[in-house]
């Protein structure tokens, strides 16, 4: 009997929760704010679904009832992707070590 | 056009890169590289999506236009936002993830053929379940984050809004969401889908309004977690590995952060999920408090104490950020260091309005991160330090949390500030902190209260050093 592909996805999901659990515990508390902004950015990989939705229109009709929602989602996710990564970058650039010279 | 198998492998690669992005945050040195991995993962995921649809018609141009429009808005915000407003920004971003999840779900529901999910009205059962869960969680994330954003911005009052039967109402709505998803799967009715979205928006709103402004660190982390689960739900619908991995990562990350925040405030996780916390009743121990003597001093006294110290520990709190005193503080510390005084910073887990917020604010003021310590790392050092300089913090230093089982904050981890030889406490008045209780530290023998605005006082001390 063949295994439903859903089971594979479920396995990936469950294992990723564990990976996330251990990886996030190893994040130093002083970087918890960048952690939140970067998780924000990466969860916007939902843009993948938005792009498929946006491209679902045909040649004559780029905007149909379904693709409009796709395009809106693309814009929202793009705000998050650019905003999230850039603001993380900006924060991380501020973390400096003590200068050795007095 | 690339094959489905090849694109699945690329999605897996971008999922792994996202894991590395979070892994990088284990230390500031590796963090920038981690962020780069994250960006790379995102570029791979988007490129592969374009290639796998193989559609480079007019629609493709529009996709690029929308990415550019959204991207420039995002970039603009990222460069403009002040670091004190980070919590608002993150809450706002969460709401966008939530809304994007809802939109993708709507699109998939209206046009399931584009996603290989079947025909409208005859969507595959599994996909429909995943889709409706993703949409519901996304909607909750959206409306919850909007409320959190409004509360943090001060547009909406930070005080908890509670009413009779709130929990029962919320429970009923949650049950009806489950029933609706069940009915939706049987009937495939689009009306039910819209009702499901509507009440999910409503419950997100209802779950966050009873939560007080000071509890926002927990709320933001919780919504972070929700946004992850929403993404994962959509990931299952789209059968997309990158989205499933990311959703799981973000979901567990948010959950861990909420757990850390709850611990920092000595609240149970369950208490948080139920909402309604933060409604601290003004208990009797407040009304019958006797006037106790306090010692108060001025900038001169403070400067004198610190000049004669050999080690100083700074305890910053959110009040410091409100007063914009972090730069003045760093200048004071620079002067102290010139006099060969050892200075370190002690950060309580819930200092600031989101996890790690205080660290970012200090980093912005050019405080080196290796002078900044977490509660567990530094708590033993207070006993050996000469001066503790408490600026903008209050409840997190209250020794009552260790001594008085009657106190509402009993059991909360606190900084052992009172063990210092002398304590300087910058505060505008003797008013209690957010927990609504008196701080015993004010009345200790070795405490000197400095009644002033944090920024002004710090500047005055620097002048007197």
pLDDT in tens, B239-288: 899 999 999 999 999 999 998 988 888 777 666 666 554 444 444 344 44
User: CB-CB: which of A12, A33, A55 is closest to B360?
Assistant: A33
Short-list B91, B188, B97, CA closest to B139: B97
CB contact under 8 A, B66 and A75: yes
Q: What residues contact residue B321 under an 8 Å CB cut-off, 6+ apart?
A: B84, B352, B357, B358, B361, B392
Q: Which ranges of chain A does DSSP label H, i.e. alpha helix?
A: 5-25, 32-43, 47-54, 65-92
pLDDT for position A21: 94
Confidence check: pLDDT of B388 > 80: yes
Active site residues of B: 395
Confidence check: pLDDT of A100 > 70: no
Chain B neighbors of A82, CB-CB under 8 A: 70-75, 78
Q: pLDDT grade, residue B398 (50/70/90)?
A: confident
Å from A7 to nearest chain B CA?
A: 11
- Give yes or no for a contact between B286 and B436, defined as CB atoms under 8 angstroms apart: yes
Fill in the DSSP letter of residue B42: H
**Residue B432 contacts A where some CB pair is shorter than 8 Å:** no
Pairing of strands B118-119, B342-347: unpaired
Chain A neighbors of B232, CB-CB under 8 A: 13
Q: What percent of chain B has pLDDT over 70?
A: 93
Q: pLDDT grade, residue B102 (50/70/90)?
A: very high
pLDDT for position B280: 45
Least confident window among B117-131, B364-378, B426-440 = B426-440
Mean pLDDT of chain A: 88
| Mutation site, A15, A76, A85, interface B, largest B CB count within 10 A | A76
Question: Who wins on pLDDT, B311 or B284?
Answer: B311
Residues 19-78 of A with CB under 8 A from B: 19-21, 23-57, 59, 62-67, 69-78
Chain A neighbors of B356, CB-CB under 8 A: 29-36
Confidence check: pLDDT of A9 > 50: yes
Confidence check: pLDDT of B45 > 90: yes
- Give yes or no for a contact between A63 and A71, defined as CB atoms under 8 angstroms apart: yes
Q: How many CB atoms lie within 10 A of CB A17?
A: 18
pTM above 0.95, yes or no: no
Q: How many CB atoms lie within 10 A of CB A63?
A: 14
Integer Cα distance of B162 and B279 in angstroms? 9
User: How many CA within 13 A on the CB side of residue A45?
Assistant: 39
Residues B129-150, mean pLDDT to the nearest whole number: 93
CB contact under 8 A, B97 and A39: no
**Residue B289 contacts A where some CB pair is shorter than 8 Å:** no
Residues 259-288 of B with CB under 8 A from A: 260
pLDDT for position B296: 84
| Mutation site, A6, A18, A23, A36, interface B, largest B CB count within 10 A | A36
- Give yes or no for a contact between B241 and B11, defined as CB atoms under 8 angstroms apart: yes
| Mutation site, B18, B78, B149, B342, interface A, largest A CB count within 10 A | B78
CB contact under 8 A, A83 and B93: yes
User: CB-CB: which of A14, A35, A86 is closest to B253?
Assistant: A35
pLDDT for position B113: 84
Residues 42-71 of B with CB under 8 A from A: 42, 45-46, 49-50, 53, 55, 57-60, 62-63, 66-71
Integer Cα distance of B94 and A39 in angstroms? 10
Question: Tell me: the pLDDT tens digits for B350-385?
Answer: 888 888 899 999 998 889 988 999 988 898 899 889
Chain A neighbors of B45, CB-CB under 8 A: 45, 47-48
Confidence check: pLDDT of B449 > 70: yes
The size of the A-B interface in CB pairs under 8 A is: 380
Residues B410-415, mean pLDDT to the nearest whole number: 86
pLDDT for position B283: 41
**Residue A8 contacts B where some CB pair is shorter than 8 Å:** no
CB contact under 8 A, B32 and A92: yes
Confidence check: pLDDT of A16 > 60: yes
Return the axis-axis angle of helices B357-364 and B326-338, rounded to nearest 10°. 60
pLDDT for position B3: 83
**Residue A97 contacts B where some CB pair is shorter than 8 Å:** yes
Å from B118 to nearest chain A CA?
A: 14
Confidence check: pLDDT of A102 > 50: no
ipTM over 0.90: yes
Mean pLDDT of chain B: 87
């Amino acid at each position: 009997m063949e295994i439903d592909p859903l089971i594979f996805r479920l396995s990936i999901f469950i294992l990723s929760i564990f990976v996330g659990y251990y990886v996030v515990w190893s994040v130093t508390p002083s970087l918890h704010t960048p952690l939140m902004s970067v998780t924000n950015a990466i969860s916007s990989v939902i843009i993948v679904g938005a792009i498929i939705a946006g491209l679902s229109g045909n040649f004559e009709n780029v905007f149909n009832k379904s693709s409009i929602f796709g395009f809106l989602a693309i814009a929202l996710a793009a705000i998050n992707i650019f905003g999230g990564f850039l603001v993380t970058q900006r924060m991380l650039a501020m973390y400096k070590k003590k200068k050795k010279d007095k | 056009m690339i094959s489905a198998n090849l694109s699945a492998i690329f999605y897996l690669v971008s999922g792994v890169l996202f894991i590395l992005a979070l892994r990088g945050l284990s230390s500031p040195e590796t963090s920038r590289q981690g962020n780069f991995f994250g960006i790379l993962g995102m570029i791979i995921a988007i490129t592969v999506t374009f290639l796998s649809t193989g559609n480079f018609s007019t629609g493709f141009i529009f996709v690029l236009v929308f990415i550019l429009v959204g991207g420039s808005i995002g970039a603009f915000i990222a460069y403009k936002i002040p670091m004190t407003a980070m919590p608002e920004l993150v809450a706002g971003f969460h709401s966008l993830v939530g809304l994007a999840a809802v939109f993708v779900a709507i699109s998939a529901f209206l046009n399931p053929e584009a996603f290989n999910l079947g025909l409208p009205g005859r969507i595959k059962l599994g996909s429909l379940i995943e889709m409706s869960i993703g949409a519901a969680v996304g909607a909750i994330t959206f409306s919850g984050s909007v409320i959190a954003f409004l509360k943090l911005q001060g547009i909406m009052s930070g005080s908890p809004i509670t009413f009779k039967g709130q929990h029962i109402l919320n429970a009923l709505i949650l049950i009806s969401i489950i029933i609706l998803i069940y009915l939706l799967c049987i009937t495939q009715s689009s009306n039910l889908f819209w009702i499901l979205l509507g009440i999910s928006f409503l419950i997100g709103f209802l779950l966050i309004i009873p939560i007080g402004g000071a509890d926002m660190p927990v709320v933001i982390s919780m919504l972070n977690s929700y946004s992850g689960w929403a993404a994962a739900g959509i990931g299952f619908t789209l059968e997309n590995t990158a989205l499933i991995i990311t959703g799981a990562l973000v979901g567990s990350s948010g959950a861990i952060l909420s757990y850390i925040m709850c611990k920092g405030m000595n609240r149970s996780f369950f208490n948080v999920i139920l909402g309604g916390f933060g409604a601290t009743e003004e208990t009797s121990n407040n009304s019958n408090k006797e006037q106790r003597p306090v010692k108060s001093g001025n900038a001169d006294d403070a400067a004198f104490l610190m000049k004669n110290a050999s080690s100083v520990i700074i305890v910053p709190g959110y009040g410091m950020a409100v007063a914009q005193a972090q730069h003045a503080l760093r200048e004071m510390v620079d002067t102290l260091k010139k006099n060969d005084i050892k200075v370190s910073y002690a950060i309580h887990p819930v200092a600031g309005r989101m996890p790690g917020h205080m660290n970012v604010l200090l980093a912005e003021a050019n405080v080196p991160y290796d002078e900044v310590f977490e509660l567990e790392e530094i708590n033993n050092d207070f006993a050996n330090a000469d001066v503790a300089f408490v600026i903008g913090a209050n409840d997190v230093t209250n020794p009552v949390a260790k001594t008085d089982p009657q106190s509402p904050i009993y059991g909360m981890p606190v900084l052992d500030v009172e063990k210092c030889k002398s304590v300087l406490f910058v505060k505008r008045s003797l008013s209690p902190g957010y927990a609504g209780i008196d701080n015993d530290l004010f009345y200790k023998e070795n405490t000197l209260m400095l009644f002033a605005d944090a920024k002004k006082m710090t500047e005055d001390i620097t002048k007197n050093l």
